[in-house]
Amino acid sequence: MQLLAERARFLSNADGLSIALKQDRQFLYCASAGISDKAATPADAQHAPIAGCIAIAQPVSVSTHTLHGQLVKVAIPILRQHEVAGFLELSANRSSFSQEDIAAVSAIAEMVNTAIDHMEAAETAQMRILESRQPTEIETAPPQLWHADSRPEVTSKADPAPMPAPAPLKVHVCQSCGFPVSEARKLCVECEQDPRVPHLPEPPLLAIEPEQSWIGAHGYTVASLLVTALVVGIIYWLR
């Protein structure tokens, strides 16, 4: 998330940029770049432009006048399953952000969704590892016989079998810039729209098998006929 925040700030030339995600019915900042230092703090979803962005699920811009000039803030939603799962908040001392800046940051919002997918996959794998380590059998103590020795018996507990190492999480990255992408993608959204990036050729859907010669296809039958004729000839010659 921090890497995506740094890249979004670079593309939009914002003075500060923060990424917030929804957790337990509130939005918490998880990454910040530039002059913005809001990481691990809750977002105020009641004030503009965040409130408008969450309400209409569209980028919302608000401009105000300060002692140092004009300050503009933009909130760009992070949509997940047609719901606002977070937002990117930009701020800069200027009149407004251009449409190119907003489009570039909106592409970063799609990358945030991919990062969330990888994070959830890692959490699911961690939960499965923890569940596999829990005992599955209930250990019961053996019955104590009345004529048995009352002294406690010292038994050696065998070491548990080592758990297999978890399979490494495969993270798919863009083959041009190295940023995380979904499994079906080869290039990120920004690299696909960049005409300078060569598009990778798609593999052929159906591979054409080379034609087989007649001898190769009927070699066994020809060999059987030759052997049969040779045996018949030898038997005829021996008579």
**Cα–Cα distance measured from residue 125 to residue 168, given in angstroms and rounded to the nearest whole number:** 10
pLDDT of residue 137: 47
Q: What's residue 210's pLDDT?
A: 57
Q: Where are the domains of the chain?
A: 2-122
3-class SS of residue 152: coil
Cis preceding-peptide flag for 49 (omega within 30 of 0): yes
C-alpha distance from residue 7 to each of 25, 111, 186, 188 (Å): 28, 11, 19, 13
Reported pTM: 0.53
User: Reduced to 3 states, what is the DSSP secondary structure of residue 117?
Assistant: helix
Q: What is the pLDDT of residue 58?
A: 93
The Cα–Cα gap between 69 and 2 comes to 29
Provide block-wise average pLDDT over 10 residues at a time, the chain (239 residues). 91 93 90 84 90 94 84 93 92 90 91 85 84 60 53 53 60 74 73 72 52 67 80 78
SS3 232: helix
Q: What one-character-per-residue DSSP string does 154-212 give?
A: P-PPPPPPPPPPPPPPP--B-TTT--B--TT-SS-HHHHH-TTSPPPPPPPSSPPPPPP
CATH superfamily placement of domain 2-122: GAF domain (3.30.450.40)
pLDDT of residue 169: 57
pLDDT at 79: 92
